[in-house]
Chain A
Amino acid sequence: MDQEQRWIEAACQGDRDAFGHLVQAYQRPVYNLTYRMLGNAQEAEDAAQEVFMRVYRKLDTFDPDRKFSTWILSIASHYCIDRLRKRRLKWLSLEDERLPPVALTSHQPGPESNVIQSEREAQVQALLDTLSADYRAAVILHYWYDYSYEEIAETTGSTVSAIKSRLFRARRMLAQQLQAEAKTSTMALAY
Protein backbone atom coordinates (compact mmCIF):
# COMPACT_ATOMS: atom_id res chain seq x y z
CA MET A 1 0.00 0.00 0.00
CA ASP A 2 1.54 3.33 -0.95
CA GLN A 3 1.83 6.43 1.17
CA GLU A 4 -1.12 8.20 -0.44
CA GLN A 5 -3.40 5.22 0.10
CA ARG A 6 -2.40 5.17 3.79
CA TRP A 7 -3.21 8.86 4.14
CA ILE A 8 -6.60 8.35 2.51
CA GLU A 9 -7.49 5.47 4.80
CA ALA A 10 -6.29 7.36 7.87
CA ALA A 11 -8.21 10.48 6.82
CA CYS A 12 -11.37 8.38 6.40
CA GLN A 13 -10.90 7.30 10.02
CA GLY A 14 -10.79 10.94 11.08
CA ASP A 15 -7.02 11.53 11.12
CA ARG A 16 -6.75 15.23 10.29
CA ASP A 17 -2.97 15.13 9.98
CA ALA A 18 -3.36 12.56 7.21
CA PHE A 19 -5.87 14.83 5.50
CA GLY A 20 -3.39 17.66 5.87
CA HIS A 21 -0.80 15.59 4.00
CA LEU A 22 -3.28 15.08 1.18
CA VAL A 23 -3.95 18.82 1.04
CA GLN A 24 -0.20 19.45 0.96
CA ALA A 25 0.25 16.99 -1.89
CA TYR A 26 -2.60 18.27 -4.04
CA GLN A 27 -2.78 21.97 -3.21
CA ARG A 28 -0.87 23.03 -6.33
CA PRO A 29 -2.73 20.90 -8.90
CA VAL A 30 -6.10 21.88 -7.42
CA TYR A 31 -5.24 25.57 -7.09
CA ASN A 32 -3.79 25.70 -10.60
CA LEU A 33 -6.99 24.21 -12.01
CA THR A 34 -9.22 26.62 -10.09
CA TYR A 35 -7.02 29.57 -11.07
CA ARG A 36 -7.00 28.66 -14.74
CA MET A 37 -10.75 28.08 -14.71
CA LEU A 38 -11.82 31.13 -12.72
CA GLY A 39 -9.14 33.58 -13.81
CA ASN A 40 -8.39 35.37 -10.56
CA ALA A 41 -6.44 34.51 -7.43
CA GLN A 42 -9.11 35.34 -4.84
CA GLU A 43 -11.79 33.19 -6.41
CA ALA A 44 -9.28 30.45 -7.07
CA GLU A 45 -8.30 30.40 -3.39
CA ASP A 46 -11.94 30.23 -2.26
CA ALA A 47 -12.73 27.55 -4.81
CA ALA A 48 -9.67 25.48 -3.93
CA GLN A 49 -10.61 25.59 -0.24
CA GLU A 50 -14.17 24.56 -1.07
CA VAL A 51 -12.89 21.69 -3.22
CA PHE A 52 -10.86 20.32 -0.32
CA MET A 53 -13.87 20.68 1.98
CA ARG A 54 -15.91 18.63 -0.46
CA VAL A 55 -13.12 16.06 -0.62
CA TYR A 56 -13.11 15.91 3.20
CA ARG A 57 -16.88 15.38 3.36
CA LYS A 58 -16.93 12.81 0.54
CA LEU A 59 -13.73 10.94 1.34
CA ASP A 60 -15.58 7.83 2.46
CA THR A 61 -17.22 7.59 -0.98
CA PHE A 62 -13.86 7.48 -2.81
CA ASP A 63 -13.40 4.31 -4.85
CA PRO A 64 -9.84 3.01 -4.27
CA ASP A 65 -9.83 1.49 -7.78
CA ARG A 66 -9.80 5.02 -9.21
CA LYS A 67 -6.83 7.33 -9.22
CA PHE A 68 -7.13 9.82 -6.37
CA SER A 69 -5.76 12.64 -8.54
CA THR A 70 -8.47 12.05 -11.15
CA TRP A 71 -11.14 12.00 -8.45
CA ILE A 72 -10.02 15.20 -6.77
CA LEU A 73 -9.57 17.06 -10.06
CA SER A 74 -13.00 15.83 -11.11
CA ILE A 75 -14.51 17.47 -8.01
CA ALA A 76 -12.51 20.63 -8.75
CA SER A 77 -13.50 20.86 -12.41
CA HIS A 78 -17.19 20.22 -11.73
CA TYR A 79 -17.20 22.85 -8.99
CA CYS A 80 -15.46 25.42 -11.19
CA ILE A 81 -17.78 24.73 -14.12
CA ASP A 82 -20.82 25.22 -11.84
CA ARG A 83 -19.31 28.38 -10.44
CA LEU A 84 -18.60 29.81 -13.86
CA ARG A 85 -22.17 29.15 -14.92
CA LYS A 86 -23.55 30.92 -11.86
CA ARG A 87 -21.13 33.78 -12.09
CA ARG A 88 -22.73 37.20 -12.03
CA LEU A 89 -21.21 40.60 -12.42
CA LYS A 90 -19.82 41.54 -9.01
CA TRP A 91 -18.76 44.90 -7.76
CA LEU A 92 -15.37 44.56 -6.14
CA SER A 93 -14.44 46.92 -3.38
CA LEU A 94 -11.09 48.62 -3.93
CA GLU A 95 -10.31 47.80 -0.31
CA ASP A 96 -10.73 44.06 -0.83
CA GLU A 97 -7.57 42.22 -0.10
CA ARG A 98 -6.58 40.36 -3.22
CA LEU A 99 -4.29 37.41 -2.90
CA PRO A 100 -1.60 37.56 -5.55
CA PRO A 101 -1.08 34.32 -7.48
CA VAL A 102 2.16 32.61 -6.67
CA ALA A 103 3.68 31.03 -9.74
CA LEU A 104 6.63 28.73 -9.92
CA THR A 105 9.66 30.92 -10.20
CA SER A 106 11.61 30.64 -13.39
CA HIS A 107 15.19 29.48 -13.22
CA GLN A 108 16.16 32.22 -15.61
CA PRO A 109 17.75 35.16 -13.83
CA GLY A 110 16.94 38.79 -14.48
CA PRO A 111 13.81 40.91 -14.34
CA GLU A 112 13.42 40.95 -18.15
CA SER A 113 12.67 37.25 -18.31
CA ASN A 114 10.21 37.59 -15.42
CA VAL A 115 8.42 40.39 -17.26
CA ILE A 116 8.27 38.29 -20.42
CA GLN A 117 6.97 35.34 -18.43
CA SER A 118 4.32 37.50 -16.73
CA GLU A 119 3.18 38.86 -20.07
CA ARG A 120 3.04 35.37 -21.49
CA GLU A 121 1.03 34.18 -18.49
CA ALA A 122 -1.37 37.09 -18.86
CA GLN A 123 -1.79 36.25 -22.55
CA VAL A 124 -2.44 32.58 -21.78
CA GLN A 125 -5.02 33.44 -19.11
CA ALA A 126 -6.72 35.99 -21.37
CA LEU A 127 -7.02 33.32 -24.07
CA LEU A 128 -8.47 30.82 -21.61
CA ASP A 129 -11.01 33.39 -20.41
CA THR A 130 -12.50 33.51 -23.92
CA LEU A 131 -13.55 29.85 -23.71
CA SER A 132 -16.73 28.45 -22.21
CA ALA A 133 -16.44 26.44 -18.99
CA ASP A 134 -16.50 22.99 -20.63
CA TYR A 135 -13.97 23.89 -23.32
CA ARG A 136 -11.72 25.59 -20.78
CA ALA A 137 -11.66 22.52 -18.54
CA ALA A 138 -10.73 20.26 -21.46
CA VAL A 139 -7.87 22.55 -22.56
CA ILE A 140 -6.50 22.93 -19.01
CA LEU A 141 -6.58 19.22 -18.29
CA HIS A 142 -4.92 18.49 -21.64
CA TYR A 143 -2.11 21.03 -21.50
CA TRP A 144 -1.44 21.49 -17.78
CA TYR A 145 -2.04 17.96 -16.56
CA ASP A 146 -1.14 16.08 -19.73
CA TYR A 147 -4.34 14.05 -19.49
CA SER A 148 -5.35 11.74 -22.31
CA TYR A 149 -8.77 12.05 -23.90
CA GLU A 150 -9.97 9.12 -21.78
CA GLU A 151 -8.72 10.72 -18.57
CA ILE A 152 -10.30 14.06 -19.44
CA ALA A 153 -13.57 12.29 -20.20
CA GLU A 154 -13.44 10.48 -16.86
CA THR A 155 -12.58 13.66 -14.96
CA THR A 156 -15.31 15.77 -16.54
CA GLY A 157 -17.93 13.01 -16.70
CA SER A 158 -18.12 13.17 -20.47
CA THR A 159 -17.39 10.85 -23.42
CA VAL A 160 -14.13 10.56 -25.37
CA SER A 161 -15.76 11.72 -28.60
CA ALA A 162 -17.23 14.78 -26.85
CA ILE A 163 -13.80 15.65 -25.43
CA LYS A 164 -12.14 15.26 -28.84
CA SER A 165 -14.73 17.56 -30.32
CA ARG A 166 -14.33 20.12 -27.50
CA LEU A 167 -10.56 20.17 -27.76
CA PHE A 168 -10.74 20.46 -31.52
CA ARG A 169 -13.06 23.47 -31.35
CA ALA A 170 -11.28 25.05 -28.41
CA ARG A 171 -7.90 24.90 -30.12
CA ARG A 172 -9.38 26.35 -33.28
CA MET A 173 -11.00 29.20 -31.34
CA LEU A 174 -7.81 29.92 -29.41
CA ALA A 175 -5.69 29.81 -32.56
CA GLN A 176 -8.05 32.25 -34.29
CA GLN A 177 -7.97 34.50 -31.25
CA LEU A 178 -4.16 34.40 -31.22
CA GLN A 179 -4.10 35.20 -34.92
CA ALA A 180 -6.41 38.16 -34.42
CA GLU A 181 -4.23 39.47 -31.57
CA ALA A 182 -1.10 39.11 -33.69
CA LYS A 183 -2.74 41.09 -36.52
CA THR A 184 -3.85 43.81 -34.09
CA SER A 185 -0.37 44.19 -32.61
CA THR A 186 1.21 44.22 -36.10
CA MET A 187 -1.13 47.00 -37.17
CA ALA A 188 -0.43 48.91 -33.97
CA LEU A 189 3.32 48.65 -34.60
CA ALA A 190 2.88 49.81 -38.20
CA TYR A 191 1.28 53.01 -36.94
Chain B
Amino acid sequence: MEATDKYVVSEAFLEDVHGQIGCISCHGGQNETDMDLAHEGMIVQPSAHDACSSCHAGIAETYETALHNTTAGIARGLERLAYPKTFNDTPELEYVYENDCTSCHASCGECHVSRPRVMGGGVHTNHEFVKLPPMDDSCWGCHGARNAGEYMGNVDGISTIPDVHYEAGMHCADCHAVDNFHGTGEVETGMWDLETLPSCYDCHTDVYAEDSPIEAHAVHDPDSMSCQVCHSLPVNNCTSCHVSADGGSSVRSRMQFKIGLNPMQSERHPYTYVALRHVPTNEDMLAEFGDDLLPNFENITSFKMSPSHNVQRITPQNRDCQRCHGNERIFLQEDDLPADGSPANIDLIVPEIP
Protein backbone atom coordinates (compact mmCIF):
# COMPACT_ATOMS: atom_id res chain seq x y z
CA MET B 1 0.00 0.00 0.00
CA GLU B 2 1.33 3.42 -0.96
CA ALA B 3 2.11 5.98 1.73
CA THR B 4 -0.38 8.32 0.09
CA ASP B 5 -3.13 5.74 0.59
CA LYS B 6 -2.14 5.20 4.21
CA TYR B 7 -1.70 8.74 5.46
CA VAL B 8 -3.54 11.18 3.17
CA VAL B 9 -6.70 12.67 4.65
CA SER B 10 -9.56 13.59 2.33
CA GLU B 11 -11.44 16.88 2.23
CA ALA B 12 -14.62 14.88 2.79
CA PHE B 13 -13.26 13.71 6.13
CA LEU B 14 -12.49 17.26 7.20
CA GLU B 15 -16.11 18.17 6.61
CA ASP B 16 -17.37 15.13 8.54
CA VAL B 17 -18.32 15.51 12.21
CA HIS B 18 -15.20 13.58 13.21
CA GLY B 19 -13.06 15.84 11.05
CA GLN B 20 -14.46 18.88 12.82
CA ILE B 21 -13.08 17.75 16.15
CA GLY B 22 -9.53 18.61 15.22
CA CYS B 23 -6.64 16.20 14.67
CA ILE B 24 -4.82 16.99 17.88
CA SER B 25 -7.82 16.44 20.13
CA CYS B 26 -7.80 12.74 19.22
CA HIS B 27 -4.22 12.12 18.11
CA GLY B 28 -2.30 14.45 20.37
CA GLY B 29 0.92 15.79 18.87
CA GLN B 30 1.46 19.46 18.22
CA ASN B 31 0.40 22.06 15.68
CA GLU B 32 3.91 22.49 14.28
CA THR B 33 5.26 22.56 10.73
CA ASP B 34 8.31 20.45 11.61
CA MET B 35 7.30 16.81 11.13
CA ASP B 36 9.20 15.39 14.09
CA LEU B 37 7.94 18.09 16.41
CA ALA B 38 4.39 17.76 15.08
CA HIS B 39 4.40 14.01 15.76
CA GLU B 40 5.91 14.29 19.23
CA GLY B 41 3.56 12.63 21.71
CA MET B 42 1.25 11.57 18.92
CA ILE B 43 -1.24 8.75 19.54
CA VAL B 44 -1.46 6.60 16.40
CA GLN B 45 -4.60 4.79 17.51
CA PRO B 46 -6.77 7.12 19.57
CA SER B 47 -9.56 4.56 19.76
CA ALA B 48 -7.24 2.23 21.64
CA HIS B 49 -6.89 5.02 24.19
CA ASP B 50 -10.58 5.51 24.87
CA ALA B 51 -11.17 8.32 22.37
CA CYS B 52 -14.54 6.99 21.19
CA SER B 53 -16.28 6.32 24.49
CA SER B 54 -17.11 9.90 25.33
CA CYS B 55 -19.58 10.12 22.43
CA HIS B 56 -20.24 6.43 21.72
CA ALA B 57 -20.61 5.34 25.33
CA GLY B 58 -23.10 2.54 24.66
CA ILE B 59 -21.00 0.75 22.05
CA ALA B 60 -17.80 1.33 24.00
CA GLU B 61 -19.43 -0.29 27.02
CA THR B 62 -20.51 -3.49 25.25
CA TYR B 63 -17.19 -3.63 23.38
CA GLU B 64 -15.36 -3.90 26.70
CA THR B 65 -16.32 -7.58 26.89
CA ALA B 66 -16.55 -8.36 23.16
CA LEU B 67 -14.26 -11.02 21.69
CA HIS B 68 -12.78 -8.66 19.09
CA ASN B 69 -11.63 -6.48 21.96
CA THR B 70 -10.62 -8.98 24.61
CA THR B 71 -9.37 -11.90 22.48
CA ALA B 72 -10.79 -14.00 25.31
CA GLY B 73 -11.47 -16.86 22.89
CA ILE B 74 -7.76 -17.23 22.26
CA ALA B 75 -7.02 -16.96 25.97
CA ARG B 76 -9.52 -19.69 26.76
CA GLY B 77 -8.13 -21.93 24.02
CA LEU B 78 -4.59 -21.50 25.27
CA GLU B 79 -5.54 -22.12 28.90
CA ARG B 80 -7.46 -25.24 27.90
CA LEU B 81 -4.33 -26.63 26.23
CA ALA B 82 -2.27 -25.62 29.27
CA TYR B 83 -4.64 -27.02 31.91
CA PRO B 84 -4.02 -27.35 34.88
CA LYS B 85 -1.54 -24.54 34.33
CA THR B 86 -2.93 -21.02 34.15
CA PHE B 87 -1.68 -17.58 33.14
CA ASN B 88 -1.54 -16.70 36.84
CA ASP B 89 0.83 -19.46 37.84
CA THR B 90 2.80 -19.77 34.58
CA PRO B 91 4.44 -16.49 33.50
CA GLU B 92 5.63 -18.04 30.22
CA LEU B 93 2.02 -18.57 29.14
CA GLU B 94 1.05 -15.04 30.03
CA TYR B 95 4.10 -13.74 28.15
CA VAL B 96 3.12 -15.63 24.99
CA TYR B 97 -0.46 -14.47 25.24
CA GLU B 98 0.39 -10.83 25.86
CA ASN B 99 3.14 -10.63 23.25
CA ASP B 100 1.68 -12.70 20.43
CA CYS B 101 -1.96 -13.64 20.84
CA THR B 102 -3.27 -10.20 21.75
CA SER B 103 -2.08 -8.80 18.43
CA CYS B 104 -5.48 -10.05 17.22
CA HIS B 105 -7.19 -7.42 19.39
CA ALA B 106 -9.01 -4.83 17.28
CA SER B 107 -9.62 -1.26 18.36
CA CYS B 108 -12.66 0.70 17.06
CA GLY B 109 -10.46 2.51 14.56
CA GLU B 110 -8.96 -0.67 13.15
CA CYS B 111 -12.32 -1.48 11.61
CA HIS B 112 -13.97 1.90 11.11
CA VAL B 113 -11.01 4.09 10.08
CA SER B 114 -7.87 2.12 9.37
CA ARG B 115 -6.55 -1.25 8.40
CA PRO B 116 -5.57 -3.58 11.27
CA ARG B 117 -2.04 -3.29 12.68
CA VAL B 118 -1.27 -6.85 11.56
CA MET B 119 -1.65 -5.58 7.98
CA GLY B 120 0.63 -2.64 8.56
CA GLY B 121 -2.09 -0.14 9.50
CA GLY B 122 -2.83 3.01 7.54
CA VAL B 123 -6.19 4.67 7.03
CA HIS B 124 -8.69 3.25 4.57
CA THR B 125 -10.99 5.63 2.67
CA ASN B 126 -8.64 8.52 3.49
CA HIS B 127 -9.60 8.66 7.14
CA GLU B 128 -13.35 8.91 6.52
CA PHE B 129 -15.14 7.06 9.29
CA VAL B 130 -17.21 4.25 7.80
CA LYS B 131 -20.16 2.65 9.55
CA LEU B 132 -19.69 -0.56 7.55
CA PRO B 133 -15.97 -1.45 7.46
CA PRO B 134 -14.60 -2.52 4.07
CA MET B 135 -14.33 -6.31 3.99
CA ASP B 136 -11.11 -6.46 2.02
CA ASP B 137 -9.28 -4.17 4.41
CA SER B 138 -10.85 -4.70 7.82
CA CYS B 139 -12.24 -8.25 7.85
CA TRP B 140 -9.70 -9.80 5.51
CA GLY B 141 -6.84 -8.11 7.32
CA CYS B 142 -7.34 -10.32 10.35
CA HIS B 143 -9.31 -13.28 8.99
CA GLY B 144 -7.79 -13.49 5.49
CA ALA B 145 -5.93 -16.73 6.02
CA ARG B 146 -9.10 -18.60 6.75
CA ASN B 147 -12.76 -17.58 6.90
CA ALA B 148 -12.66 -14.14 5.27
CA GLY B 149 -10.05 -15.34 2.78
CA GLU B 150 -12.16 -18.31 1.80
CA TYR B 151 -15.26 -16.13 1.63
CA MET B 152 -13.60 -13.68 -0.75
CA GLY B 153 -11.57 -16.22 -2.71
CA ASN B 154 -8.19 -14.92 -1.54
CA VAL B 155 -6.69 -17.18 1.11
CA ASP B 156 -3.65 -15.25 2.28
CA GLY B 157 -2.80 -14.38 -1.31
CA ILE B 158 -3.81 -17.70 -2.89
CA SER B 159 -6.71 -17.48 -5.31
CA THR B 160 -9.63 -19.77 -4.45
CA ILE B 161 -13.28 -20.08 -5.41
CA PRO B 162 -15.24 -17.47 -3.43
CA ASP B 163 -18.41 -18.14 -1.48
CA VAL B 164 -21.65 -17.82 -3.45
CA HIS B 165 -22.90 -15.27 -0.95
CA TYR B 166 -19.84 -13.10 -1.58
CA GLU B 167 -20.40 -13.37 -5.31
CA ALA B 168 -23.99 -12.27 -4.72
CA GLY B 169 -22.63 -9.09 -3.14
CA MET B 170 -23.15 -9.92 0.51
CA HIS B 171 -20.97 -8.30 3.18
CA CYS B 172 -19.82 -10.18 6.29
CA ALA B 173 -22.22 -8.01 8.28
CA ASP B 174 -25.17 -9.21 6.20
CA CYS B 175 -24.98 -12.49 8.13
CA HIS B 176 -23.08 -11.46 11.25
CA ALA B 177 -25.21 -9.28 13.52
CA VAL B 178 -23.52 -6.12 14.74
CA ASP B 179 -23.21 -7.54 18.24
CA ASN B 180 -20.97 -10.28 16.83
CA PHE B 181 -18.49 -7.42 16.55
CA HIS B 182 -19.53 -4.89 19.22
CA GLY B 183 -20.58 -7.44 21.84
CA THR B 184 -23.75 -7.47 23.91
CA GLY B 185 -22.37 -6.46 27.27
CA GLU B 186 -22.23 -10.08 28.37
CA VAL B 187 -18.77 -11.49 29.05
CA GLU B 188 -17.79 -13.45 25.94
CA THR B 189 -15.33 -16.31 26.13
CA GLY B 190 -15.64 -18.04 22.76
CA MET B 191 -17.06 -17.55 19.28
CA TRP B 192 -19.18 -20.67 19.29
CA ASP B 193 -20.93 -19.53 22.47
CA LEU B 194 -22.34 -16.35 20.91
CA GLU B 195 -26.13 -16.47 20.96
CA THR B 196 -26.38 -14.42 17.78
CA LEU B 197 -23.84 -16.32 15.71
CA PRO B 198 -25.45 -16.67 12.28
CA SER B 199 -26.97 -19.88 11.07
CA CYS B 200 -27.75 -20.94 7.51
CA TYR B 201 -31.30 -21.52 8.73
CA ASP B 202 -31.67 -17.79 9.45
CA CYS B 203 -32.37 -17.34 5.74
CA HIS B 204 -32.71 -20.86 4.38
CA THR B 205 -35.69 -21.93 6.44
CA ASP B 206 -37.41 -25.26 5.86
CA VAL B 207 -34.72 -26.62 3.55
CA TYR B 208 -35.15 -30.09 5.03
CA ALA B 209 -38.49 -31.63 4.08
CA GLU B 210 -39.63 -35.03 2.94
CA ASP B 211 -41.13 -33.45 -0.15
CA SER B 212 -38.10 -31.29 -0.87
CA PRO B 213 -37.26 -31.18 -4.58
CA ILE B 214 -33.62 -31.59 -3.53
CA GLU B 215 -33.26 -35.30 -2.82
CA ALA B 216 -30.42 -34.90 -0.33
CA HIS B 217 -32.58 -32.54 1.72
CA ALA B 218 -35.44 -35.01 1.64
CA VAL B 219 -33.52 -38.08 2.78
CA HIS B 220 -31.05 -36.74 5.36
CA ASP B 221 -31.81 -35.96 8.97
CA PRO B 222 -31.07 -32.23 9.63
CA ASP B 223 -29.12 -33.17 12.75
CA SER B 224 -26.97 -35.71 10.96
CA MET B 225 -24.52 -33.22 9.44
CA SER B 226 -23.61 -29.56 9.23
CA CYS B 227 -24.50 -27.72 6.03
CA GLN B 228 -20.78 -27.41 5.23
CA VAL B 229 -20.45 -31.20 4.84
CA CYS B 230 -22.27 -30.96 1.53
CA HIS B 231 -21.84 -27.33 0.60
CA SER B 232 -18.26 -26.28 1.35
CA LEU B 233 -14.99 -26.60 -0.51
CA PRO B 234 -11.49 -27.38 0.84
CA VAL B 235 -10.42 -25.01 3.62
CA ASN B 236 -7.07 -23.87 4.92
CA ASN B 237 -5.71 -26.18 7.62
CA CYS B 238 -2.85 -24.75 9.70
CA THR B 239 -0.71 -27.28 11.53
CA SER B 240 1.64 -24.97 13.37
CA CYS B 241 1.38 -21.70 15.22
CA HIS B 242 2.89 -18.35 14.27
CA VAL B 243 3.92 -17.61 17.85
CA SER B 244 7.66 -17.08 18.08
CA ALA B 245 10.08 -15.42 20.46
CA ASP B 246 11.53 -13.37 17.61
CA GLY B 247 8.18 -11.89 16.66
CA GLY B 248 6.48 -14.35 14.36
CA SER B 249 7.17 -17.36 12.19
CA SER B 250 5.62 -18.92 9.12
CA VAL B 251 2.81 -21.37 9.55
CA ARG B 252 2.52 -24.80 7.91
CA SER B 253 -0.78 -25.07 6.16
CA ARG B 254 -2.62 -26.89 3.40
CA MET B 255 -6.00 -26.74 1.75
CA GLN B 256 -8.09 -29.85 2.28
CA PHE B 257 -11.67 -31.00 2.74
CA LYS B 258 -12.31 -33.65 5.37
CA ILE B 259 -15.46 -34.92 7.03
CA GLY B 260 -15.23 -36.28 10.56
CA LEU B 261 -17.17 -36.74 13.74
CA ASN B 262 -18.31 -33.57 15.46
CA PRO B 263 -15.79 -32.71 18.21
CA MET B 264 -18.11 -30.14 19.81
CA GLN B 265 -21.59 -31.63 19.68
CA SER B 266 -24.12 -29.45 21.48
CA GLU B 267 -27.78 -28.50 21.40
CA ARG B 268 -27.01 -25.75 18.90
CA HIS B 269 -24.66 -27.95 16.86
CA PRO B 270 -26.09 -31.45 17.20
CA TYR B 271 -24.54 -32.80 14.00
CA THR B 272 -22.89 -36.20 13.95
CA TYR B 273 -20.75 -35.37 10.91
CA VAL B 274 -19.06 -32.04 10.25
CA ALA B 275 -16.51 -30.53 7.92
CA LEU B 276 -13.25 -30.27 9.84
CA ARG B 277 -10.49 -27.72 9.99
CA HIS B 278 -7.14 -28.17 11.73
CA VAL B 279 -6.43 -25.12 13.89
CA PRO B 280 -2.91 -23.65 14.18
CA THR B 281 -1.51 -25.75 17.00
CA ASN B 282 1.07 -28.48 17.47
CA GLU B 283 2.64 -30.09 20.49
CA ASP B 284 5.88 -28.08 20.27
CA MET B 285 4.43 -24.69 19.46
CA LEU B 286 5.51 -23.12 22.75
CA ALA B 287 8.70 -25.17 23.22
CA GLU B 288 10.99 -22.16 22.82
CA PHE B 289 9.26 -20.43 25.73
CA GLY B 290 9.48 -23.25 28.28
CA ASP B 291 9.11 -26.97 28.94
CA ASP B 292 5.76 -28.72 29.08
CA LEU B 293 3.67 -25.56 28.85
CA LEU B 294 0.73 -27.40 27.27
CA PRO B 295 0.20 -30.53 29.41
CA ASN B 296 -3.40 -30.92 28.24
CA PHE B 297 -2.56 -30.73 24.53
CA GLU B 298 -3.00 -34.45 23.93
CA ASN B 299 -6.54 -34.43 25.32
CA ILE B 300 -8.00 -31.78 23.03
CA THR B 301 -8.62 -32.35 19.34
CA SER B 302 -6.75 -29.96 17.07
CA PHE B 303 -9.32 -30.53 14.32
CA LYS B 304 -12.41 -28.44 15.01
CA MET B 305 -15.84 -28.09 13.43
CA SER B 306 -15.26 -25.83 10.46
CA PRO B 307 -17.63 -22.95 9.81
CA SER B 308 -16.31 -23.03 6.23
CA HIS B 309 -17.08 -19.78 4.44
CA ASN B 310 -16.74 -20.99 0.86
CA VAL B 311 -20.26 -22.32 0.38
CA GLN B 312 -21.35 -23.53 -3.05
CA ARG B 313 -24.66 -24.97 -4.15
CA ILE B 314 -22.91 -27.76 -6.05
CA THR B 315 -19.64 -29.17 -4.71
CA PRO B 316 -17.50 -32.18 -5.68
CA GLN B 317 -18.95 -34.19 -2.79
CA ASN B 318 -22.64 -33.46 -3.42
CA ARG B 319 -22.87 -33.99 -7.18
CA ASP B 320 -24.39 -37.39 -6.58
CA CYS B 321 -24.74 -39.88 -3.69
CA GLN B 322 -21.62 -41.87 -4.58
CA ARG B 323 -19.35 -38.81 -4.43
CA CYS B 324 -19.82 -38.91 -0.67
CA HIS B 325 -21.20 -42.29 0.37
CA GLY B 326 -18.42 -44.85 0.41
CA ASN B 327 -15.83 -42.27 -0.67
CA GLU B 328 -13.31 -42.65 2.13
CA ARG B 329 -10.95 -40.06 0.62
CA ILE B 330 -13.14 -37.20 1.81
CA PHE B 331 -13.42 -38.59 5.32
CA LEU B 332 -10.70 -38.03 7.90
CA GLN B 333 -8.22 -40.90 7.88
CA GLU B 334 -5.25 -41.76 10.10
CA ASP B 335 -2.93 -40.65 7.29
CA ASP B 336 -4.45 -37.16 7.49
CA LEU B 337 -3.45 -36.66 11.11
CA PRO B 338 -0.37 -34.44 11.55
CA ALA B 339 2.40 -36.31 13.39
CA ASP B 340 2.76 -33.46 15.89
CA GLY B 341 -0.99 -32.88 16.21
CA SER B 342 -3.11 -33.98 19.12
CA PRO B 343 -3.54 -37.75 19.63
CA ALA B 344 -7.17 -36.93 20.45
CA ASN B 345 -7.78 -36.32 16.74
CA ILE B 346 -8.11 -40.05 16.23
CA ASP B 347 -11.50 -39.87 17.97
CA LEU B 348 -12.82 -37.84 15.03
CA ILE B 349 -12.26 -40.54 12.44
CA VAL B 350 -15.58 -41.95 11.25
CA PRO B 351 -15.40 -45.65 12.21
CA GLU B 352 -17.55 -46.81 9.32
CA ILE B 353 -17.88 -44.71 6.18
CA PRO B 354 -21.62 -44.24 5.53
Chains A and B form a bound pair:
no
Instruction: Tell me the B residues contacting A by CB distance below 8 Å.
Output: none
